[in-house]
Amino acid sequence: MASASQLSHLPHQAFIGIGSNLIAEGFDNLHLSLSAAVQQIGCADVAVAGQSSWYVTSAVPVSDQPDYLNAVLDIRTAFEAEQLLDHLQQIELQFGRIRTVRNAARTLDLDIISFDDEVIATDRLDVPHLRLHERKFVLYPLAELAANWRDPRSGKLADTLKAECDAVDDGSQKCRLFAR
């Protein structure tokens, strides 16, 4: 994790969802692959300030895909939101991400969950994600890392969104802490 001095020159805060259900080439398992991806995110313009635990989650929507390993990162960055998106998509490519069909299995998925607590709606980017409130694989690690983060669309805290998601879950969204 970055030191206070490394974070001080980076004006923007973002939460990034990270996950995968396919092992990237050159790695023995998902955890090693994703840990390497976390290291790649850091650069002169991006510093990782915090990270949630890893969670084993089922695919959404439900499918016969292998389980995912997911976490949330708290980052600081000099990039604007779409520059950050470009940076993250470049890392996905480095880890062998190929975009075929929506919700397909993937070697790396990096999503901007929040950027300076703004609502962003462009052709390339919707932040926060429009279905954030339905996704345990985001809400569990986000609530762990930043329980008091407030969704700028609904005004609800991460902990509240997690509890509401749990209340309506039909049991199809598995989400448990990863045990190494």
CATH number of the domain at 164, please: 3.30.70.560
Q: Phi then psi for 3, rounded to 5 degrees?
A: -85, 165
- Three-state DSSP class for residue 94: helix
Active site residue 106: yes
Residue 75 pLDDT: 97
Q: Pick 171 or 81 by higher pLDDT.
A: 81
Looking at the chain, the whole-number percentage of residues with pLDDT higher than 70 is 93
Range list of H helices, the chain: 4-7, 30-41, 81-94, 136-145, 158-168
Mean pLDDT over residues 130-151, rounded?
94
Mean pLDDT over residues 115-133, rounded?
94
Q: Is 172 a residue whose pLDDT tops 90?
A: no
Structural domains counted in the chain: 1
Which residue is catalytic, options 28, 74, 99, 106? 106
Residue 3 pLDDT: 77
Active site residue 131: no
Q: What residues have CB less than 8 Å from 177, skipping those under 6 apart?
A: 53, 54, 55, 56
Instruction: Enter the pTM of the model.
Output: 0.93
Q: Is 4 a residue whose pLDDT tops 80?
A: no
Domain that includes residue 39, residue range: 4-177
Q: Is 60 a residue whose pLDDT tops 80?
A: no
Which residue is catalytic, options 111, 117, 126, 166? 111
Return the exposure string of 86-113: e unless at least 16 CB atoms fall within 10 Å of the residue's CB, then b: ebbeebbeebbbeeeeeeebbbbbbbbb
Mean pLDDT over residues 1-24, rounded?
87
Q: What is the mean pLDDT of the chain?
A: 90
Mean pLDDT over residues 24-36, rounded?
93
Which residue is catalytic, options 109, 135, 150, 176? 109
Which residue is catalytic, options 74, 76, 97, 151? 97
